[in-house]
């Protein structure tokens, strides 16, 4: 750690600012907001400084910097445009053991000022220790966007409720539940954002009067196809609040790294050489964990309601009377389509898109006549082992053998691999990829040549397709 982050209490503490230009003005504003008793030293002052002084907000000392200005000061900021003046301030401050920041010169400073996201009393400070200020700024922007404006008010309310919550909920776990319910209360957030004090108070009173359920609950969360950036904000919140996360093979390590550190993790996927945990057993795990009063997140690849057996799991929970909710995810078809540059619909190519299982529960339940119709895109999930059958059925039912097809393996991840060719080669192509892979059939596949943006970002695996002798396009290793 190059710097120790601390938050200084500056209320009524004497501080010095040397310089009175635009940058100094920004620093002055921060120090004044923090309640500092501010002296500003410069040879000339901007109108804003004169105005502050007239208002009695700060004291101006006109003239060159003098050592005695540092007497009795807690900290000083040097913000003049003259390097030698800033250096002198730093040197003197160091001798006098006064913390000193030199604007834009982290090497000559005993403290640096981070980028801040101010949701007082919540404060987030970001710093790269002067090494990558642009990165720190980008991070700050991201945090600005994700942290709602009402957060400060919410924290203030929480502060005022602490005593009452302590009295009403003796158990630590019920207190945690109360706070989580308060902080995740969508309607409360809305009324705070609308400055509706009356309604906010009503929501809070209701939280106190409703008995907080000791019963657990299950949240079915879609983790998206792999790239952790495709997890929804709501999904992220859920996995960070979970007591238990029940997950399977399709959930990427990147996403599992975002799960609350002390949450229990139960893997129910297939391990090499072993079978998956049977669905009945998974259902039972969810019921049992929730019955112990835990907040269970059932984390699934893609979207839980698209070939995710989410419906089946929820039916069991409904039967057992366990509360549940669902957070959708980006399904593999959307993810793979975007990251392989193959739009699923396009006015010139496809007016509809069909998500089809390659693993139909009962034989003969797919309507191949309909699937083989033109002007649509077919996306087969779990279709690898059935690629030969899909090829045969579509051609037998009238689809052109030259119809473009693509197979996307590990879509959206850095291991993404895409193989393209024609329908007549589907079985052959399927041998070049491994699970999890999607099969996309339709003339939209031809757009990949123009729209394949991810390959250029991800040179190693998803390199531009290569044409084989047989006309099969395959991938560079
Ligand atoms: N609920 C998931 C689908 C589960 S079925 C969703 O909405 O995406 C499992 C199948 O999904 C796999 O056999 C494969 O066909 C597809 N799949 C899931 N993730 C994938 C990925 N990253 N790349 C390619 N196919 C994927």
The DSSP result for 324-382, as a single string, is EEEE----HHHHHHHHHT--S-BTTTBSEEEEEESS-SSTT-S-HHHHT-SSEEEEEES
Q: What is the pLDDT of residue 362?
A: 58
**Collapsed DSSP state (helix, strand, coil) of residue 439:** strand
Q: Structure tokens of 332? A: 């593999």
Q: What is the pLDDT of residue 276?
A: 75
From its phi and psi, is residue 369 left (phi > 0), alpha (psi between -120 and 50) or beta? Answer: alpha
Q: For residue 19, count other CB atoms closer than 10 A to its CB.
A: 26
Active-site entry in 227, 243, 248, 462: 248
State the Cα–Cα distance between residues 130 and 106, nearest whole angstrom: 6
State the Cα–Cα distance between residues 239 and 295, nearest whole angstrom: 10
Helix axes 279-291, 310-320, angle to 10 degrees: 40
End-to-end CA distance of the chain: 41
Taken in order 430, 436, 440, 444, is the CA torsion positive or negative?
negative
The residue assigned the tokens 């079978």 is 275
Task: Tell me if 269 sits within 8 A of 279, measured CB to CB.
Answer: no
**Digits of tens for pLDDT over the chain (477 positions)?**
888 999 999 999 999 999 999 999 999 999 999 999 999 999 999 999 999 999 999 999 999 999 999 999 999 999 999 999 999 999 999 999 999 999 988 888 899 999 899 998 999 999 998 888 889 888 998 888 778 888 899 999 999 999 999 998 888 778 888 888 888 777 788 888 889 999 999 999 988 887 665 668 999 999 999 999 999 988 998 898 889 999 998 999 999 999 988 899 999 986 555 677 888 999 999 999 999 988 899 999 999 999 998 999 999 999 999 999 999 999 999 999 999 999 999 999 999 999 999 987 655 689 999 999 989 999 999 999 999 999 999 999 999 999 999 999 999 999 999 999 999 999 999 999 999 999 999 999 999 999 999 986 765 455 555 433 333 443 332
118 is catalytic: no
Question: Which of 401, 393, 405 lies closest to 443, judged by CA?
Answer: 405
State the Cα–Cα distance between residues 465 and 454, nearest whole angstrom: 12
Query: What is the set of domains in the chain, with CATH numbers?
Result: 14-113 (3.40.50.720), 151-209 (1.10.8.210), 217-330 (3.40.1010.10), 339-475 (3.30.950.10)
465 is catalytic: no
Among protein residues, the one with the nearest Cα to ligand 1's atom 6 is: 302
Q: What is the pLDDT of residue 462?
A: 52
- Spell out a b/e string for 307-321, using b for 16 or more CB atoms within 10 Å of the CB, else e: bbebeebbebbeebe
Q: Tell how far CA 52 is from the center of its chain.
A: 41
Q: How far is the CA of 366 from the centre of ligand 1 (A)?
A: 19
pTM here is: 0.69
* Atom in ligand 1 nearest the alpha carbon of residue 300: 1
Q: How far is the CA of 436 from the centre of ligand 1 (A)?
A: 6
Q: How far is the CA of 111 from the centre of ligand 1 (A)?
A: 50
Q: How far is the CA of 235 from the centre of ligand 1 (A)?
A: 18
Q: How far is the CA of 389 from the centre of ligand 1 (A)?
A: 19
State the Cα–Cα distance between residues 222 and 306, nearest whole angstrom: 10
Rounded to the nearest 5°, which phi and psi values hold at 185? -80, 100
Tallying the residues shown for the chain, one arrives at 477
- Write the DSSP symbol of residue 21: S
- Write the DSSP symbol of residue 445: G
Q: What is the pLDDT of residue 134?
A: 87
The residue assigned the tokens 């053998």 is 401
Q: Structure tokens of 458? A: 């991800």
Q: How far is the CA of 302 from the centre of ligand 1 (A)?
A: 6
Q: Which residues does ligand 1 sit against, CB inside 6 Å? A: 225-226, 250, 300-303, 306-308, 331-332, 336, 381-382, 408, 410-412, 435-438
**Collapsed DSSP state (helix, strand, coil) of residue 153:** helix
Q: Which of 252, 438, 458 to mutate to test the pocket of ligand 1 (most atoms within 8 A of CB)?
A: 438
Question: Which of 15, 13, 7, 40 lies closest to 25, judged by CA?
Answer: 40
Task: Tell me if 16 sits within 8 A of 92, measured CB to CB.
Answer: no
**Collapsed DSSP state (helix, strand, coil) of residue 135:** helix
Among protein residues, the one with the nearest Cα to ligand 1's atom 13 is: 382
- Write the DSSP symbol of residue 224: B
Rounded to the nearest 5°, which phi and psi values hold at 292? -80, 5
Q: How far is the CA of 381 from the centre of ligand 1 (A)?
A: 6
Among protein residues, the one with the nearest Cα to ligand 1's atom 11 is: 381
Among protein residues, the one with the nearest Cα to ligand 1's atom 3 is: 307
* Atom in ligand 1 nearest the alpha carbon of residue 383: 15
Q: Which of 269, 309, 381, 410 to mutate to test the pocket of ligand 1 (most atoms within 8 A of CB)?
A: 381
Among protein residues, the one with the nearest Cα to ligand 1's atom 2 is: 302
Q: What is the pLDDT of residue 59?
A: 97
- Spell out a b/e string for 68-106, using b for 16 or more CB atoms within 10 Å of the CB, else e: ebbeebebbbbbbeeeebbebbbebbeeeebbbbbbeeb
Active-site entry in 270, 367, 369, 396: 270
Q: Structure tokens of 313? A: 């799991």
Q: Which of 270, 302, 310 to mutate to test the pocket of ligand 1 (most atoms within 8 A of CB)?
A: 302
State the Cα–Cα distance between residues 367 and 155, nearest whole angstrom: 56
Q: Which of 223, 298, 301 to mutate to test the pocket of ligand 1 (most atoms within 8 A of CB)?
A: 301
State the Cα–Cα distance between residues 423 and 401, nearest whole angstrom: 5
Q: How far is the CA of 301 from the centre of ligand 1 (A)?
A: 7
Q: What is the pLDDT of residue 468?
A: 34
């Amino acid at each position: 750690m190059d710097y120790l982050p601390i938050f200084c209490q500056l209320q009524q503490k004497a501080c010095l600012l040397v310089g009175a230009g635009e940058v100094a003005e920004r620093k002055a504003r921060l120090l004044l907001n923090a309640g500092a008793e501010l002296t500003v030293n410069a040879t000339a002052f901007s109108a804003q400084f004169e105005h502050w002084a007239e208002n009695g907000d700060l004291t101006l000392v006109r003239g060159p910097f003098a050592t005695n200005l540092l007497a009795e000061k807690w900290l000083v900021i040097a913000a003049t445009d003259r390097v030698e003046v800033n250096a002198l301030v730093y040197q003197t401050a160091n001798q006098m053991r006064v913390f000193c920041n030199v604007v834009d010169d982290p090497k000559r400073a005993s403290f640096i000022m981070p980028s801040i996201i101010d949701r007082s009393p919540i404060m987030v400070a970001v710093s790269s220790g002067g090494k990558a200020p642009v990165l720190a700024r980008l991070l700050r922007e991201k945090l600005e966007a994700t942290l709602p404006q009402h957060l400060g008010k919410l924290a203030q309310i929480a502060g005022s409720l602490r005593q009452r919550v302590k009295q009403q909920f003796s158990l630590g776990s019920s207190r945690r539940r109360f706070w989580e319910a308060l902080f995740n209360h969508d309607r409360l957030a809305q009324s705070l954002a609308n400055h509706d004090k009356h309604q906010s108070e009503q929501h809070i009173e209701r939280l106190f009067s409703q008995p907080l359920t000791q019963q657990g609950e299950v949240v079915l969360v879609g983790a998206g196809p792999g790239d952790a950036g495709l997890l929804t904000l709501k999904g992220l919140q859920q996995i960070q609040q979970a007591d238990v996360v029940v997950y399977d093979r399709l959930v990427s390590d990147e996403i599992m790294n975002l799960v609350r550190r002390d949450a229990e993790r139960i893997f129910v996927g297939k391990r090499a050489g072993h079978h998956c945990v049977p669905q009945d057993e998974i259902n039972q795990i969810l019921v049992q964990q929730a019955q112990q009063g835990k907040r269970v997140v059932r984390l699934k690849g893609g979207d839980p309601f698209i070939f995710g057996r989410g419906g089946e799991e929820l039916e069991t929970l409904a039967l057992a009377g366990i509360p549940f909710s669902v957070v959708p995810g980006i399904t593999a078809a959307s993810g793979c389509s975007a990251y392989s540059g193959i739009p699923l619909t396009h006015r010139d190519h496809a007016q509809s898109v069909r998500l089809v299982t390659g693993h139909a529960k009962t034989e003969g339940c797919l309507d191949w006549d309909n699937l083989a119709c033109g002007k649509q895109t077919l996306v087969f999930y779990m279709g690898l082992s059935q690629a030969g059958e899909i090829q045969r059925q579509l051609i037998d039912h009238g689809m052109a053998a030259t119809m473009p097809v693509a197979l996307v393996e590990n879509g959206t991840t850095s291991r993404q691999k895409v193989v393209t060719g024609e329908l007549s080669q589907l079985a052959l192509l399927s041998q070049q990829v491994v699970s999890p892979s999607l099969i996309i059939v339709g003339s939209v596949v031809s757009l990949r040549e123009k729209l394949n943006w991810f390959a250029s970002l991800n040179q190693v695996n998803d390199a531009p397709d290569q044409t084989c002798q047989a006309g099969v396009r395959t991938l560079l290793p």
